[in-house]
């Protein structure tokens, strides 16, 4: 695994494509089947992402939860496309995608990058306390406040609380550590 996850972005240019009513949109990366829901010409701005790490189906599903992302399609192990709704800011979506894919998978790396030593120690102690549970998450707010959840089972209550922390991460740009990212 590379020491740092990187993503390189290119905006998809429709002028380089041919639309075939039978097969779909012929792109430099292959054929994209067109449906009413994913016709990119009128609905989306599309970006091609090339990475130095494997993109999983689970990650693609989670990326669809980021506000503004209409569609994620994995083309290959290291390449995927993202469709952004026309009314959303591409830069905001890109920051959230990069934060999710490049930082949230390496809990210990994230902890080491916390600059405030007092907060770092609190996070280390909290992680040590709750990591004995099968399911846990720690959210560090931008102001330094720390919230955590834990559960032996992945219950609907735990999942709801975890989603709340994920939403907070996206909205306020805090730091999320989780057993999901181990």
Q: Residue 78: which of 101, 62, 55, 58 has the closest Cα? A: 55
| C-beta atoms surrounding 68 within 10 Å | 19
Mean pLDDT of the chain: 82
pLDDT single digits (tens) 83-94: 898 888 887 788
Position 108 pLDDT exceeds 70: no
Express as a percent the part of the chain with pLDDT over 90. 29
Question: Once rounded to an integer, what is the mean pLDDT over residues 145-172?
Answer: 91
Residues 6+ positions from 60 with CB-CB distance below 8 Å: 72, 73, 74, 80
Question: Once rounded to an integer, what is the mean pLDDT over residues 110-117?
Answer: 78
Task: List the single range of 17-21, 40-44, 148-152, 169-173 with lowest mean pLDDT.
Answer: 17-21
Burial of 72 (0-12, 13-18, 19+ CB in 10 A): buried
pLDDT single digits (tens) 162-173: 999 988 888 888
Instruction: Specify whether the backbone of 122 is left (phi greater than 0), alpha (psi in -120 to 50) or beta.
Output: alpha
């Amino acid at each position: 695994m590379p020491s740092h996850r990187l993503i390189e972005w290119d905006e998809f240019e429709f002028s380089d494509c041919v639309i075939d009513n039978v097969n779909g949109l012929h792109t430099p990366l292959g054929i994209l089947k067109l449906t009413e829901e994913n016709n990119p010409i009128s609905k989306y701005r599309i970006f091609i992402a090339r990475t130095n790490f494997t993109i999983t189906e689970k990650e693609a599903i989670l990326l669809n939860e980021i506000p503004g992302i209409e569609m994620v399609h994995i083309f290959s192990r290291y390449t995927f496309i993202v469709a952004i709704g026309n009314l959303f800011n591409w830069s905001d979506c890109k920051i959230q995608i990069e934060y999710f894919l490049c930082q949230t998978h390496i809990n210990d790396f994230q902890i080491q990058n916390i600059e405030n030593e007092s907060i770092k120690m609190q996070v280390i102690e909290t992680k040590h306390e709750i990591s004995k549970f099968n399911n846990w998450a720690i959210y560090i707010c931008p102001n330094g406040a720390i919230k955590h959840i834990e559960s032996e089972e992945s219950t609907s209550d735990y999942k709801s609380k975890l989603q709340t922390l994920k939403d907070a991460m996206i909205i306020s740009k805090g730091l999320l550590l989780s057993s999901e990212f181990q």
